[in-house]
Amino acid sequence: MRSTACNIASQLVRTARCWPRLPAVAHGDAVRHDYAALARRAAGLAAGLRAAGLSAGDRVVLASRNVPEYVEALYGCWWAGIVAVPVNAKLHAKEMAFVLADCGARWALVDDAWRAALAAVAADVPSLARVVAWGDAEYRSLVARPPEGDPVAVAPDAPAWLFYTSGTTGRPKGVEITHANLAAMGQCFLSDVEGIEPGDALLHPAPLSHGSGLYVVPHVARGAVSVVPASGGFDAAEIATLLGRWSRSLFFAAPTMVKRLVDAPDFRAARLDRLKALVYGGGPMYVEDCKAAFAAIGPRLAQIYGQGESPMTITAMDRALLADALAQGDDARIASVGVAQTGIEVRIGGAEAASATGEVGEVLVRGPTVMRGYWRNPAATAATLAGGWLHTGDLGALDADGFLTLKDRSKDLIISGGSNIYPREVEEALLAHPGVAEVAVVGRRHAEWGEEVVACVVPRMPLPDAAAARALEATLDAVCLERIARFKRPKTYVFVAELPKNNTGKVLKTELRDIVG
């Protein structure tokens, strides 16, 4: 059934009618648009795209750092029934060309840097008819067009957001996130993560092409203002300044970003009474890091677990649950990623039968937030959605209360001498040493044991010489032997200045495996 109510842009229409004068989009400390203006500009952009020959189902790529225009571009695409394709702005031009060609993008809305970069690869993307930069006269004329009515009628399973996976194990795949998926995700956020009221503020230090952009949906539905930092990205001092301007603030951050915030003097001096919640996800938050963050900012932490194929929406632990676990000193619960969100089923094991409580296996998910499939990739879709369940590729275990603890990605599991070793267990042990700032554990081929454990460690203080490195290795060995089985401890330590990460803060273990051989 096709309906204007199924179009996720209808939520913007409703909010604009209820709260036309409320701030909708801000840049730094300045309001750019109220909700009446945001709806008008999104409708104008939709009319402009349709007038240029685009129609429902066509794809428009958004390639940009965080800018205020991003929000109206998302809703403008959806208003027209067009599929928005927000892409990681830190990709190489050749990687961007692959995404553009794979999705058959008709247009690209970009910042100045990407306008120049796409000129060099335009010949490789025959479908791309036009590249328009924010702020250009052409873009201004698009959003200034007279609106042409309500959002286009769409089916609930019509794609709205095409999310390209990171491609760490091969070519990136386009995840088809539908209008119904986005609506379900928004409802799960409001019921299981954080309630939002008109006038709340959603800060965007994390990329709008990923989780921060997805969280625009429930915040628009409830009349919150999206605040794009003037820097267009993550800066602890800038976030502290924004908290002084915007009360009842919330933002999404990867665990590595949370760690950097906690360590930043500017953020420790911020008006934390104006911070409503900090939602973290996209990777594991180690127990010691969680305790340090809670000590620094108080009961404002909430956690989610999701992936592109079920965006931001598999399990959650809201502020109250996490604060209770910390108050009880329940390290097992702190290390978990919470319980299944509303309407979501989580199973460990296979599609036909679940594993026993506490048993480690692949995390399977079923519910209204699970993707329709991979863009024009039926084989990958069939494999990932086999038996009606999303096979996440993550390994985890459910306790008797339904709390899910992730062990690792299945591809990161280390098998040494026939025994399974979960890198996160080793990482948690090593992080108990105060001299360790960050750590990532990977497997390396071993002629006798199959694989051996290698720990890539970022020391809190630089090591002056080889003797200091050997001394730290010995100390870390002792720490491991106090906490985990002997066979799990690292056989080799590699000390590095920093861990390679993508723009969402995830450690790139593929690169680390190349480094350690």
pLDDT value for 277: 98
pLDDT value for 351: 79
User: How far is the C-alpha of 362 from the C-alpha of 371, rounded, in Å?
Assistant: 18
> DSSP for 154-222?
B-TTSEEEEEEP--TTSS--EEEEEHHHHHHHHHHIIIII----TT-EEE--S-TTTHHHHTHHHHHHT
Cβ atoms 450, 415 nearer than 8 A: yes
For the chain, give every residue range classified as CATH 3.30.300.30: 413-516
pLDDT value for 257: 86
User: How far is the C-alpha of 369 from the C-alpha of 306, rounded, in Å?
Assistant: 10
pLDDT value for 285: 82
For the chain, give every residue range classified as CATH 3.40.50.12780: 10-343
Contacts of 30 (CB under 8 A, 6+ apart): none
- Could you give phi then psi for residue 351, rounded to 5 degrees? -70, -25
- Could you give phi then psi for residue 44, rounded to 5 degrees? -65, -40
The two tokens of residue 453 are 């454990």
- Could you give phi then psi for residue 133, rounded to 5 degrees? -95, 145
The two tokens of residue 246 are 């915007």
Contacts of 284 (CB under 8 A, 6+ apart): 255, 406, 424
Q: Match 């840097």 to its residue by tokens.
A: 113
Rg (C-alpha) for the chain, rounded Å, is 23
User: How far is the C-alpha of 150 from the C-alpha of 161, rounded, in Å?
Assistant: 20
Maximum pairwise Cα distance, the chain: 72
Residues in the chain: 517
* Secondary structure element (H or E) that encloses residue 513, with its range: helix 509-516
> What is the pTM for the complete model shown?
0.85
What is the DSSP code (8-state) at residue 438?
Answer: E
User: How far is the C-alpha of 22 from the C-alpha of 457, rounded, in Å?
Assistant: 47
- Could you give phi then psi for residue 403, rounded to 5 degrees? -80, 130
pLDDT value for 168: 43
User: In tens digits, what is the pLDDT along the chain, a chain of 517 residues?
Assistant: 899 999 999 999 999 999 999 999 999 999 999 999 999 999 999 999 999 999 999 999 999 999 999 999 999 999 999 999 999 888 888 889 989 999 999 999 999 999 999 988 888 899 999 999 998 999 999 999 999 899 999 999 999 999 998 654 457 899 999 999 999 999 999 999 999 999 999 999 999 999 999 999 999 999 999 999 999 999 999 999 999 999 999 999 988 789 889 989 888 889 999 999 999 997 768 898 899 999 999 999 999 999 999 999 999 999 999 999 999 999 999 999 999 999 999 999 987 878 889 999 999 999 999 999 999 999 999 999 999 999 998 889 999 999 999 987 767 878 786 667 878 889 988 999 999 999 999 989 887 777 899 999 999 998 989 999 999 999 999 999 888 878 888 999 999 999 998 766 778 888 898 888 7
What is the DSSP pairing of strand 301-307 with strand 275-280? parallel
Of 379, 371, 298, 284, nearest to 336 by C-alpha is 284
What are the distances in angstroms from CA 37 to CA 9, 13, 15, 388? 14, 11, 12, 42
Q: Which CATH architecture has domain 413-516?
A: 2-Layer Sandwich (3.30)
Which spans in 1-158 are helix H? Answer: 10-18, 35-51, 69-79, 93-103, 112-119, 137-143
Contacts of 13 (CB under 8 A, 6+ apart): 39, 150, 151
What are the distances in angstroms from CA 376 to CA 1, 169, 173? 23, 18, 9
User: How far is the C-alpha of 428 from the C-alpha of 417, rounded, in Å?
Assistant: 22
Is domain 10-343 given the CATH code 3.65.10.10 in the classification?
Answer: no
